[in-house]
Structure 1
Amino acid sequence: MQIEAVVFDIGNVLIEWNPERYYDRILGKERRQQLFREVDLEGMNEAVDLGAPFRETVYAKAEEAPDWSSEIRLWHDNWIELAKPDIPHSIRLLRKLRAKNVPVFALSNFGIGTFDYAVTQYPVLDEFDRRYISGHLEVIKPDPRIYEILEEDCGIAPERLIFTDDRAENIAMAASRGWQTHLFKGPQGWADRLVAQGLLTEAEAA
């Protein structure tokens, strides 16, 4: 089946997303683990990914947990430190696909404010042919609706899409809809898959 578009997740595919690593560095592992146990930072971040305003959401959570208020605010104030560095090989693959006129889409759980800021730091995020960002769509992976939105908008049959994501549940939902999929564990495996699909040559995928 000929692939008509390649769909990239962003976090841990094009740029690293590792809040734990950042907080380990500034708090130490033990205190970071305590913070993450006592404060629902994942739920806070999910609200942002669903379209809630970034600064207001983080600062409201800080008000709810005064013992951790300064640490929680860092999620906003130093956000780029949670989302770094980029993954150069993945970026090269995206650009090689576009150079061959293969449409490249983003399908990512990402807030409105965080994505707008990330684009200023990582210009590659402005290079997609189409972007499906959860904050704007107000639905997050693996909810089937976000996949349906992409299908409806681009008009490409599911079996002619290939999607890479680092989370198995997101891949499983795409596969259940008939998409071709690749669980991202590193850029070389993704490069090999693109070669196997006939989308890039080995030299282009290096």
Structure 2
Amino acid sequence: MAYKNIIFDFGGVLVDWNPRYLYQDHFKDPEQMEWFLKNICTDEWNIEQDRGRTLSEATAMLQRQFPEHHDAIGLYYGKWETMLRGEIPGTVALLHRLKEKGFPLYGLTNWSAETIGIAYRRFAFFGLFDGIVVSGTEKLIKPDPAIYRLLFERYKLKAEECIFIDDNIHNVNAARGLGIHAIHFKDPVQLENELAAVVSL
């Protein structure tokens, strides 16, 4: 199979995002920080913003539910940009090489529609993409097959001609179920090796 298009996830693959980069300065005790992220501002709560819930609604809801953590909850989106540590250099270098080789590049990301613009402004490599689908804008979220199909329809892609890269195994498995060659990202070296096995770098 000749693969023509490369689809990238963003967070954890191209961008180093982690709420701990913000909260490590708020909580002096790492155990308190981990408790807060496991029980208050949880991954499950955050994913609903990626699904389209507004940041203001999400924040207010938690602050009503946990008034004793009002200020810490407010930091999550009040200082959200602090969670963006930087790009993941090895993966971004691969992105440039793929572009130079002539591969069309696409993004398929679970990300809030209200914060994705911060990432676009911060990292110039987003200009390399030929098309991007953002979950928060579409009100669809990986691993729902519908968001993959939306990407295909919008940019006239065929699943069997695409390679998809994501650090979340559930998203990878969903892509494979649709006939996409999917790579479970662990680090840039592993990604380069797996890409080199199926396309010319």
TM-score, normalization: structure 2? 0.91
For structure 1, which runs of at least 5 residues remain unmatched after alignment?
Answer: 201-206
* 4+ aligned runs moved over 6 Å, structure 1: none
Cα contact 1:44–1:58 (8 A) shared by 2: no
**Which letter maps to 2:16?**
E
Cα contact 1:7–1:104 (8 A) shared by 2: yes
Following superposition, the deviation at residue 172 of structure 1 comes to 0.4
Structure-2 residue corresponding to 1:20: 20
Correspondences of 1:1-206 after superposition (within 5 Å): 1-27=1-27, 28-200=29-201
When residues 37 and 9 of structure 1 are mapped into structure 2, their CA distance, relative to the original with a 3 A threshold, is closer
Q: Distance in 2 between matches of 1:170 and 1:57?
A: 24
SS of the counterpart of 1:152? helix
When residues 59 and 84 of structure 1 are mapped into structure 2, their CA distance, relative to the original with a 3 A threshold, is farther
Task: Give the number of the structure whose residues are more often helix, by fraction.
Answer: 1
**Which letter maps to 1:187?**
P
Count of residue correspondences:
200
For structure 2, which runs of at least 5 residues remain unmatched after alignment?
Answer: none
SS of the counterpart of 1:3? coil
**Which letter maps to 1:5?**
N
Moved more, 34-43 or 107-116: 34-43
Following superposition, the deviation at residue 154 of structure 1 comes to 2.3
SS of the counterpart of 2:10? coil
Identity %: 28
Cα contact 1:106–1:132 (8 A) shared by 2: yes
**Which letter maps to 1:113?**
E
Cα contact 1:23–1:29 (8 A) shared by 2: no
Moved more, 140-149 or 39-48: 39-48
Following superposition, the deviation at residue 25 of structure 1 comes to 4.3
Superposition CA RMSD, Å: 1.7
Moved more, 172-181 or 46-55: 46-55
Moved more, 20-29 or 127-136: 20-29
